[in-house]
């Protein structure tokens, strides 16, 4: 936040809320100090993979379509679009007033460049498969075809045509994700990997990058070239990383930040008693789960993985460790998702815990695991809630004769470690839906999804069902195929689902326009701050 001593002397209270007044009484810039889960590992939106990174990219870029304050899909760079009768060809008309932060017009060619780049093998985009519905995208990503063969074409500067392999009911919602954002070709080609640095980065969203100080803040300033700049009420957004949620709570109560992106659940009772409506807990499309490295001999037998799952007291984790901010999970696809029937669940979901522990011991014996012989490493990223979850899990595993050690890793390197086939036994991970469709959860464990298939599980039967679902037009028939895939996942259990997320945020009374929604997306362009 930039302010002079004169301003501070004039109105320190307003500054604490993110507002300043200029001498003479005119309203100066509005500053939003926004708590975020962690620092991004990159500002190249095609290489991002976390919710924290998505929050940042949503402010810097605008796709063809965007999610509004309630997460509904609305026009972005595209002012309108048409879809062919067979559902395969989307034609977008781009708004004439769409501009990059340097004043260049945003053209259809910017999307063609971005969509070709994300599929190039050398880009190594972990989310490239989000755009696999586009013709030839997967083949380009595997190095089997050239980027120029992608089913994306600039008819002219303001007309973009996208051709799909099969009708994709969630395609528009998919395009709201950061993988759907354009890139400013000239700056990417000029600066190479340095194109994301402050001073080099050219963006087309409501905000533009001003500075990035790791472990301190990412500062963004309102983009005067943005086509809807007149309706953007906040001038400066500072994304502040808080891996320690309790620290964000303290700074929130001091008025130093206007929102926190997550909660310290050890403080849940306190927050409920003291923060009133500023504490926001809402249904959320996400699952908290345990990837298991299936190629390790001691964890290769599905019976061992099922035994571990049976011993986990999900009610205790959700209600005591997470203080009611989570729900017990016995499926991977969360409830309430679109385009699906009811998820299949693990068969012991309603069994008494003591009966489950007895069954787990019997399974271990059947799998040839001698009592007391199995020891596993439980790995988690920094965060009090994750630490407490793993500590509780360790105690639960003792009840079936499994010993464990707990390893903590810093957040920035943690997910890269899993993506790069790190040497773990059992880790924790979370997946938040990018669009409301079961495919967005189940695609994680396709054999070739090395970016997110942390267990490195391979199932030809599962892969075949996912491919079949991808070309099935009938929504109900497709849902049935995806359900079969999830049944295989729950039988083999390379990942152990333990909780469904709810979104938890702290939102200042002075921050207006924040709408709770199942996607938990809150672009700063829709928000305002009152004095």
Tens of pLDDT, residues 93-104: 999 999 999 999
Compute CA distances 147 → 109, 113, 127, 170, whole Å. 13, 9, 17, 24
Which is it for strands 89-94 and 78-83: parallel, antiparallel or unpaired? antiparallel
Tens of pLDDT, residues 107-162: 999 999 999 999 999 999 999 999 999 999 999 999 999 999 999 999 999 999 99
Q: What's the pLDDT at 470? A: 86
SS3 of residue 267 by DSSP: helix
Compute CA distances 207 → 33, 193, 227, 236, whole Å. 14, 21, 11, 8
Q: 520's torsion region: left (phi>0), alpha (psi -120 to 50) or beta?
A: left
Q: What mean pLDDT is predicted for residues 498-519?
A: 95
The residue written with tokens 């305002």 in the block is 528
Tens of pLDDT, residues 380-417: 999 999 999 999 999 999 999 999 999 999 877 999 99
Q: What's the pLDDT at 27? A: 63
| Structure token digits, residue 459 | 């199932």
8 Å CB contact between 406 and 286: no
Is pLDDT above 50 for 9? Answer: no
Q: What mean pLDDT is predicted for residues 28-39?
A: 95
Evaluate the CA torsion angle 294, 497, 451, 474 in order and state its sign: positive
Q: Where are the alpha helices (DSSP H) in 142-288?
A: 171-174, 185-191, 245-253, 268-274
* Average pLDDT along the chain: 93
SS3 of residue 397 by DSSP: helix
Q: How far apart are CA 106 and CA 151, in angstroms?
A: 20
8 Å CB contact between 120 and 136: no
Q: What's the pLDDT at 336? A: 81
Q: How far apart are CA 240 and CA 357, in angstroms?
A: 43
| Structure token digits, residue 349 | 């979901």
Tens of pLDDT, residues 184-193: 999 999 999 9
Is pLDDT above 80 for 18? Answer: no
SS3 of residue 354 by DSSP: helix
Q: How far apart are CA 81 and CA 3, in angstroms?
A: 44
Q: What's the pLDDT at 485? A: 98
pTM: 0.73
| Structure token digits, residue 8 | 């501070």
pLDDT tier for residue 520 given thresholds of 50, 70 and 90: very high
Q: How far apart are the first and last CA of the chain?
A: 16
User: DSSP character for 349?
Assistant: T
Looking at per-residue confidence, does 336 or 304 come out higher?
304
Tens of pLDDT, residues 465-508: 999 998 887 889 999 999 999 999 999 999 999 999 999 999 99
Is pLDDT above 80 for 5? Answer: no
């Amino acid at each position: 936040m930039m302010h002079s001593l004169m301003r501070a002397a004039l109105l320190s209270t307003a500054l604490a809320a993110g507002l300043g007044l200029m001498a003479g009484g005119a309203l100066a810039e509005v500053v939003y100090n926004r708590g975020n889960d962690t620092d991004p590992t990159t500002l190249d939106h095609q290489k991002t993979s976390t919710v924290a990174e998505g929050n940042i990219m949503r402010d810097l870029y605008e796709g063809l379509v965007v999610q509004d304050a309630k997460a509904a899909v609305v026009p972005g760079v595209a002012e309108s679009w048409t879809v062919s009768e067979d559902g395969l060809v989307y034609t977008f008309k781009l708004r004439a007033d769409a501009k990059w932060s340097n004043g260049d017009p945003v053209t259809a060619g910017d999307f063609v460049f971005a969509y070709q780049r994300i599929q190039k093998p050398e880009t190594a985009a972990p989310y490239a498969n989000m755009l696999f519905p586009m013709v030839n995208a997967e083949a380009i990503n595997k190095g089997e075809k050239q980027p120029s063969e992608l089913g994306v074409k600039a008819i002219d500067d303001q007309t973009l045509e996208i051709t799909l392999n099969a009708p994709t009911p969630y395609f528009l919602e998919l395009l709201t994700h950061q993988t759907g954002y354009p890139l400013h070709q000239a700056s990417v080609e000029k600066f190479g990997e340095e194109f994301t640095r402050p001073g080099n980065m050219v963006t087309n969203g409501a905000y533009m990058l001003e500075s990035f100080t790791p472990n301190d803040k990412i500062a963004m300033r309102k983009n005067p070239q943005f086509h809807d700049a007149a309706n953007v009420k906040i001038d400066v957004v500072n994304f502040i990383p808080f891996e320690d949620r309790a620290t964000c709570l303290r700074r929130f109560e001091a008025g130093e930040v206007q929102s926190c992106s997550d909660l310290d659940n050890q403080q849940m009772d306190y927050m409920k008693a003291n923060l009133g409506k500023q504490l926001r807990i809402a249904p959320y499309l996400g699952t908290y789960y345990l990837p298991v490295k299936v190629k390790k001999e001691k964890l290769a037998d599905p019976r061992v993985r099922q035994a571990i799952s049976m011993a986990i007291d999900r009610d205790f984790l959700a209600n005591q460790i997470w203080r009611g901010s989570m729900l017990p999970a016995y499926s991977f696809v969360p409830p309430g998702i679109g385009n699906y029937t009811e998820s299949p669940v693990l068969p012991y979901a309603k069994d008494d815990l003591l009966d489950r522990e007895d069954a787990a011991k019997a399974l271990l014996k059947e799998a040839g695991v001698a009592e007391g012989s199995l020891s596993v490493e439980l790995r988690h990223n920094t965060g009090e809630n994750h630490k407490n979850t793993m500590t509780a899990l360790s105690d639960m595993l003792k009840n079936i004769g499994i010993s464990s050690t707990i390893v903590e890793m810093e957040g920035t390197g943690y997910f890269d470690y899993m993506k790069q086939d790190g040497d773990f036994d059992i880790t924790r991970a979370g997946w938040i839906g990018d669009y409301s469709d079961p495919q967005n959860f189940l695609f994680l464990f396709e054999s070739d999804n090395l970016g997110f298939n942390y267990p490195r599980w391979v199932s030809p039967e599962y892969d075949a069902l996912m491919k079949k679902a991808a070309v099935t037009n009938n929504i109900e028939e497709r849902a049935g195929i995806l359900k079969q895939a999830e049944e295989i996942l729950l039988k083999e259990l390379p990942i152990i689902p333990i909780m469904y997320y709810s979104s938890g945020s702290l939102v200042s009374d002075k921050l207006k326009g924040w709408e709770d929604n199942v996607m938990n997306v809150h672009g700063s362009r829709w928000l305002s701050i009152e004095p």
